[in-house]
Structure 1
């Protein structure tokens, strides 16, 4: 298992380095999105594999990842808000759009300064040296056994978490908890991809669909949280608010429908647990 952790950590850091190099160019929306995904995957990997590292260096690395994630999020929030305003029918030259674009440029400059510093330092190589995994001659644990032991229980926890959220008849903003749980579950599964066959890809695709639906809801909620602080009271502000409120409500309904009719259909949790327990293969 320790060798596997070493290999997975190196792969996650290499993926981060690739996206850092890409984002350090112009800070385009797509590059920032892909970097954020790479950060989430690495952060989750550090948390899952924490018991295998020599020391607690992973904690400070996660804090650094979180800091840059917030910087990238500030840029992305403006991109999403401008896109939502366009869908709401707000003119490209409107004052609020001009303001958001200016804020985006400022935030992007700060983000690029930071990420270019990462690139120059070769931060992924530095972190790989810090994330040492002691290799013991007598290491009875294997990725196969670890996956079979932990992932079925994790699936059960995920179902329980999302069901608990839905039982509260949540407002769209409250679905953020389900979104975070979905991300944690998906990125943990991806760490053990090589332990399973094509069946895992089918399940990850189902999770990805749930995550996308919840992401659409979150975009509307987060955009209004941002706009409510900067838009002056007007008929246009009211129209945008109603548009985003309606969009979030529709997205929440689409998520609930997908969850109840497909993801949490009768026998579906058992389908997940049985596969994760019995279909793992040598990695």
Structure 2
């Protein structure tokens, strides 16, 4: 997507230069749909800008991961408010959130792959050359991420995107209370997760795509519950805890699947083919084990 073509990038203003606060701390049942958007979006956007700024000079694996998480949270928030933000604006913004998350995630993916290869090495697989090659790929991914993610551009884009959304919301729902709307969007996210869980559970054999769909739907629901927990009926702490547990199991499977795909799609000129194949066989075995565990967990929650 041509970001300059779709979004005019103004000079960064002070919209997100705010003190870090707990998401949702300023929300109340009497808040409007429009006012809650800025309350929820501003801390996440501020974190994304700070993470992007830090990563211009640092190479911390957790920093890249948390930057990706921030963009994922913004995608979930835009989905929640999309009935009033509008389809076109939502699609444009979330496409850029996704692109930026993927750029940040490239480094994180090589970190995970490298950790798995070192585990394979400890278990007896002869993958020393591939471990070294993965470190080089990771260094290349860092350089690419740092080139593609400029903190000033990220801040300007986020300021522009969120200001557009806030302006639209203020004109369309500034006087509408948040509670019923938030509960409706959470219920919709819950139904989507339930459908995907049941679909995955009905599959006779483990299905990678189905488990991935469950994982995405679960993340969206968890983020929305974390955003809206102060204002929606009922305590959802237990649900968030359960979703986190499921996500951990699905995440373990996804790490293997993503690493396998990463190795299959990469070229290793200085690594013998048989070494790569040995690693892929090890990953395939691990993936099958984790897929079965993830499938059992999904069947449990679908029931």
Band the TM-score falls in, shorter-chain normalisation:
0.7 to 0.9
Q: Which has the higher helix share?
A: 1
Take 2:282 and 2:166, find their aligned partners in 1: how far apart are those partners? 50
Root mean square deviation, CA, Å: 2.9
Aligned to 1:169: 204
Aligned to 2:66: 34
Seen in structure 2, the aligned counterparts of structure 1 residues 257 and 196 have a Cα distance that, compared at 3 Å, is same
Take 1:153 and 1:63, find their aligned partners in 2: how far apart are those partners? 21
Shift in Å, 1:202: 1.6
Alignment partner of 1:95 out of 104, 108, 129: 129
Shift in Å, 1:226: 2.0
Aligned to 2:284: 245
Seen in structure 2, the aligned counterparts of structure 1 residues 96 and 241 have a Cα distance that, compared at 3 Å, is same
Q: Secondary structure at the match of 1:26?
A: coil
More displaced 10-residue stretch of structure 1: 112-121 or 182-191: 112-121
For the pair 1:68 / 2:68, whether they are aligned, the reply is no
Alignment partner of 2:50 out of 10, 18, 23: 18
Seen in structure 2, the aligned counterparts of structure 1 residues 129 and 137 have a Cα distance that, compared at 3 Å, is closer
Seen in structure 2, the aligned counterparts of structure 1 residues 186 and 18 have a Cα distance that, compared at 3 Å, is same
* Structure 1 unmatched ranges of 5 or more: 266-283
Aligned to 2:192: 157
Take 1:220 and 1:256, find their aligned partners in 2: how far apart are those partners? 15
Query: Contact between 1:53 and 1:131, CA under 8 Å: does it hold in 2?
Result: yes
Seen in structure 2, the aligned counterparts of structure 1 residues 22 and 96 have a Cα distance that, compared at 3 Å, is same
Q: TM-score, normalised by structure 1?
A: 0.80
Q: Secondary structure at the match of 1:131?
A: helix
Shift in Å, 1:198: 8.0
Query: Contact between 1:27 and 1:108, CA under 8 Å: does it hold in 2?
Result: yes
For the pair 1:79 / 2:111, whether they are aligned, the reply is yes
Take 1:86 and 1:138, find their aligned partners in 2: how far apart are those partners? 53
Seen in structure 2, the aligned counterparts of structure 1 residues 138 and 149 have a Cα distance that, compared at 3 Å, is closer
- How many positions carry a matched residue from both structures? 263
Take 1:216 and 1:21, find their aligned partners in 2: how far apart are those partners? 29
Deviations 1:46-71 (A, max 9, x none): 12212333894443332222222222
Query: Contact between 1:68 and 1:111, CA under 8 Å: does it hold in 2?
Result: no
Q: How does 1:132-147 map to 2 (within 5 A)?
A: 132-133=166-167, 134-135=169-170, 141-147=176-182
Take 1:194 and 1:95, find their aligned partners in 2: how far apart are those partners? 51
Shift in Å, 1:122: 4.8
* Structure 2 unmatched ranges of 5 or more: 1-32
Deviations 1:188-230 (A, max 9, x none): 3233122147831221111111111111111111211222344
Aligned to 1:190: 226
Alignment partner of 2:217 out of 153, 164, 181: 181
Shift in Å, 1:178: 1.7
Seen in structure 2, the aligned counterparts of structure 1 residues 19 and 165 have a Cα distance that, compared at 3 Å, is same
